[in-house]
Amino acid sequence: MAEYDIALRGGRVVDGAGNPWVHADVGVRQGRIAAVGRIAPGQALREIDAAGLVVAPGFIDLHTHSDTTLLADGLAQSKVRQGVTLDIIGESSSVAPLRGAVLDEYRQAQWRRDNVEVDWATFQGYFARVQRQGIAMNVASCVAPQQVKLAVVGYEDRPATEAELGEMNALIAQAMSEGAVGLSTAWHGGGYQYPQEIVSMARVAARYGGFYGTHVGSEGFQLMEELEKAIHVGQEAGLPVHVYHLKIRGKSNWGRVKEAIAMIQAARDRGLDVTANQYPYTAMQHPWHRLFPRWVQDMAPSQAVARFRDPAFRARVLQDPEFQQYVEEHGGWEGIVGARFTNAALQELEGKTVAEVAAEQGGDPAEVCLDLVAEEGAFPFGVYHNMAEADVREVMRQPWVSIASDAGALNEAAPGKPHPRAFGTNPRVLGRYVREEGVLALEDAVRKMTSLPAQVLGLKDRGLLREGCWADIVAFDPTTVGDTATYQRPQQYPTGIPYVLVNGSLVIDRGQHTGQRPGQVVYGPGKGT
């Protein structure tokens, strides 16, 4: 009888905790790591020669949008081929709660984007759907408090009544008891206007052991103000704060990221648990609606888009100083790219900047932008070239910053020109910033992808190569690992990652996807309470 199901023999083991690598074998049995040390030949049903490879814990991506892409294609090719074994979803919108106008908008958006029929309304329903279909990687989810408010109050911009806030808190409690790992906010366009509501909901999440993850409202001119708000929530509610994709955007702001780093470090020095993540690129991606003033962002998307041909509406948008500010923060018209259009007539424009389209059409870039939204009938996804490489490196060097993609699980047939981070985030760090440029040591880079995000999530059995932990494992060649995805050709898988195990099953074997779907739902600490 073989003692192990799989043994990876002779590799350089990087345990995820930041310790120096050691030569060791890793044995897997019944989905867990059963041994790290010396394993005699013939003791495993399958032996993998890991000589020359680094063997590390599977990577944990703290900030993703795989909510429905995992249902559209459970093989999760773009993630597992990077060595990612756990995605955290739920930022800006979450899979639950769904009801009223939120449900209708969510159903329309997911069908338009991923051809996924939404047949659930709660986290329990979504998790059941995931387990029924099967996925190649693990998944956990946050709950979006702004979505909770929309579900209770609707799209009217006003403070919640006492009764409504009670209902919102009850929905947070339900989400946490169904397995959400924390709150995940995205207060775009100036921040959250009613801080007492988010503090109240955060206190509920804290009772269930959750954390407060936040895409701060502004990552440009108001970054410091928005960071201060996020830290205030953590301090008042008594829970950890995790800042998504820490950056500074807009050329006139370059270099000020050091101020943000200093603010977070000062909070940590006071004893507050504040961490952050980043992706290793100088461009960002999200829908175009975040280019527009807050009063447009606060409207139901379908209602807003319907007005983009209205001359009075257009004039108000064009004259609003916020529109001008947001365009500048997103890189100006020469930095704002249309990444994906669902209107076939517009798909030839994918990958072009608004400035390029305007030059071809002989129009004003701002007017062309509004025209494209009207023709698309929705806010298209955009890529925005608006950051400095020096700032990316400065953030990366901080010991409390993890690596996260802000991208969903995709495959080579993904439409449009998605941000290359969907296909290359982790190998880009290992190839460019570790091997080629020495910005990070190998062990530290692995820690930022494994035990650090596990620490944020409060997971004790993932993120480390330790006996008893789940056998989420990646084996990569440190001499060849790297990203191949580019902005013009993003749907390209990385190199140098021949083996990936999820819960003890080989999902990537000799560089090829096996078709296995051993992924599990990873629940938060409040599950069932």
Residue pLDDT, tens place only, 87-115: 999 998 899 999 987 899 899 989 888 99
Query: What is the pLDDT, as a whole number, of residue 191?
Result: 44
Residues 270 and 330 in one domain: no
Q: Which residue shows structure tokens 């990652």? A: 497
User: What average pLDDT does the segment 310-332 reach?
Assistant: 96
Does the structure show a pLDDT above 70 at 13?
yes
Domain boundary among 361, 385, 409: 385
Q: Does residue 189 carry a pLDDT above 60?
A: no
Query: Which strands sit side by side in the sheet containing 138-141, from one edge to the other?
Result: 59-61, 84-89, 138-141
Last residue of a domain, one of 403, 427, 456: 456
The residue out of 385, 413, 436 marking a domain boundary is 385
- Nearest partner of 381 among 114, 192, 103, judged by Cα: 114
Q: Which domain holds residue 373?
A: 293-385
Better-predicted residue by pLDDT, 425 or 114: 425
- The number of distinct structural domains making up the chain is 2
| Structural domain includes residue 488 | no
> Model-level pTM?
0.95
137 & 72 share domain:
yes
On whether the CB atoms of residues 286 and 404 are closer than 8 A, the answer is no
Same domain, 91 and 130: yes
Predicted confidence band of residue 295 (pLDDT cuts 50, 70, 90)? very high
Averaged pLDDT for residues 398-405:
98
Q: Do residues 55 and 8 make contact, with C-beta atoms less than 8 angstroms apart?
A: yes
**Confidence label for 187 from pLDDT (cuts 50, 70 and 90):** low
Q: Which residue has the higher pLDDT, 405 or 187?
A: 405
343 shares its domain with 415: no
Q: Name the pLDDT band for 1 (thresholds 50, 70, 90).
A: confident
**Domain contains 524:** no
Q: What is the DSSP letter of 436?
A: I
Distance CA 427, CA 387 (A): 20
Same domain, 159 and 178: yes
Q: Say if residue 390 is in the same domain as residue 299.
A: no
